Amino acid sequence: MGEAIGHSLPLAIGVALSPIPIIAVVVLLTSSRARSLGPLFVLGWLLGLAVVGTIVLAILGPSAADSSGQRTRRVSWVMIVLGVLLLVEAGRHLRGRARAGEEVALPAWMGAIDRLKPAVALGGGVVLGGVRPKSLLLVVGGAAAIAQTGIAGGQQAIAYAVFAVVATIGVGAPVVIYLAMGERSTELLGRLKGWLRRNHAVILAVVLLVIGVTLIGDGIGGLAS
């Protein structure tokens, strides 16, 4: 199980460092219903991760490793394809990065996020955590990395739970800061939002580039073995 956690951990960190969801939760924490909307968003995020992980493990789990415990070629190809897609995304973000003195515009839906109803905040967490393409690629890669170790189903579930917890640190940390500091956190969270807004394209590009190369190398290594 330790091997499964080790293989999936870099992808969990990649999910955790995704700037747009962190900005979204910070905006929620500036609303009048911050104490309910922030935790609901994080809960939705965890639900999104759980749904995607369950599906991927159910599909790949029984066939990810052969009778000797070695990864199958099918999983190696999944790793390579995911790695290539992440490299494409990394290139797209590098091309769209902010120039000196510029501030990248946020998605249009971000302007209304602080006025969301609780159910919508929950659903938004589900979408950004498990359905948003960049998160989806990393989550699928993380679940596949766990499945390819060939460990028992119960151990796969525990390893994925660790993956989900680590992947939630990025959106969970602002909520913890707000609940601990209350209104005193406003300035700190505001600075965090501004920094992420200016640098989110470069952050994502670097994360996706590193993980994409790692997945491709891992997949090629599996095909060669």
DSSP per-residue letters across 170-206: HHHHHHHHHHHHGGGGHHHHHHHHHHHHHHHHHHHHH
pLDDT at 84: 93
pLDDT at 107: 59
84 vs 106: CA distance, rounded Å: 26
User: What would the pLDDT profile of 125-153 be if each residue is shown by its tens digit?
Assistant: 999 998 888 889 899 989 988 888 878 88
Structural domain harbouring 30: 2-224
Handedness of CA 104, 108, 114, 120 (dihedral sign): negative
Q: When comparing pLDDT for 203 and 174, which is higher?
A: 174
Domains contained in the chain, number: 1
**DSSP string over 46-90:** HHHHHHHHHHHHHHHGGGSB-TTSPBPHHHHHHHHHHHHHHHHHH
Let me know: does 155 contact 1? Beta carbons within 8 Å.
yes
Residue with token string 């992808």: 11
pLDDT at 114: 61
pLDDT at 113: 65
What length is written for the chain? 225
Global pTM value:
0.82
User: What would the pLDDT profile of 136-195 be if each residue is shown by its tens digit?
Assistant: 989 998 998 888 887 888 899 999 999 999 999 999 999 999 999 887 888 888 888 888
Q: What integer is the mean pLDDT of 69-78?
A: 71
